[in-house]
Amino acid sequence: MPTLCERPDISIIVPVYNLEKHLDPLIFSLMMQELGDYKTEIIFVLNNCTDNSEQVIRDWGLDCTILTCEEQGCGCARNVGFEHSSGEYIWFMDGDDWLVSKTAIRDVLDRARGLDIIYIPFDSKTFTWQYFSMVAQYLLRREFVEEFRFRQAMPGEDDAYMGQVLAKAGHSRFDYWTLPAMDKPQWYYNYGREGSNMWRVARGEDINIPPVR
């Protein structure tokens, strides 16, 4: 664990499963960030990738950590990233989304001062419903969520995780929007991307993965 003076202000944790064609916007948006005095730790967790995702990340030359997770599921990959992270705040992002401005990280951290959790709205051309359990919608103070892990290696693992986190913060799925929040979107939700879980569900595919034993 880094000393207090070396500790990153934020750890951005990104699970990656066969995203070689979709990683560029996120990585570009991360490289373009104007951070000021803030220190950022970026962690990609490769989750049984069979494509060229790792090489795409390395080719960009982004200052980041690349880990692997052999268990199936986005939740398991997020757990691995969390356990190897050290930032004061955690932002779980998805590899096919991206930040919408050069100051997104700095603005979010400015808003988070002294808070355990803040709500981060997104922009999207194809999805306008801000759903309570989308973990990328929250910046979380590390010590506040230290006890929690994503429990199931299956789609929808965000629901149980954020249900616990919101309960600890004195909120629920019905009033999460009253949390301290950013006043405008800071990231783009690439909803319906071909091959994503949401895309597969819309096509009627069964994408349940057995829980990890």
Tens-place pLDDT, residues 106-138: 999 999 999 999 999 999 987 777 677 789 999
In-domain check, residue 67: yes
Q: How many CA atoms lie within 13 A of 193 on its CB side?
A: 18
Q: How far apart are CA 163 and CA 23, in angstroms?
A: 29
Please give the residue range of the domain that contains residue 117: 10-202
In-domain check, residue 33: yes
In-domain check, residue 5: no
Q: Where are the alpha helices (DSSP H) in 65-187?
A: 74-83, 104-112, 142-145, 157-168
Q: Where are the alpha helices (DSSP H) in the chain?
A: 24-31, 53-60, 74-83, 104-112, 142-145, 157-168, 197-202
pLDDT of residue 72: 82
In-domain check, residue 209: no
CATH number at residue 115: 3.90.550.10
pLDDT of residue 130: 65
Of 30-39, 76-85, 151-160, the range with the lowest mean pLDDT is 151-160
Residue 8 pLDDT exceeds 60: yes
pLDDT of residue 210: 32
In-domain check, residue 208: no
Q: How far apart are CA 54 and CA 67, in angstroms?
A: 10
In-domain check, residue 210: no
Q: How many domains does the chain have?
A: 1
In-domain check, residue 3: no
Residue 60 pLDDT exceeds 50: yes
In-domain check, residue 98: yes
Q: How far apart are CA 133 and CA 167, in angstroms?
A: 12
Query: How many other CB atoms sit within 10 Å of the CB of residue 10?
Result: 23
Q: pTM score, two decimals?
A: 0.86
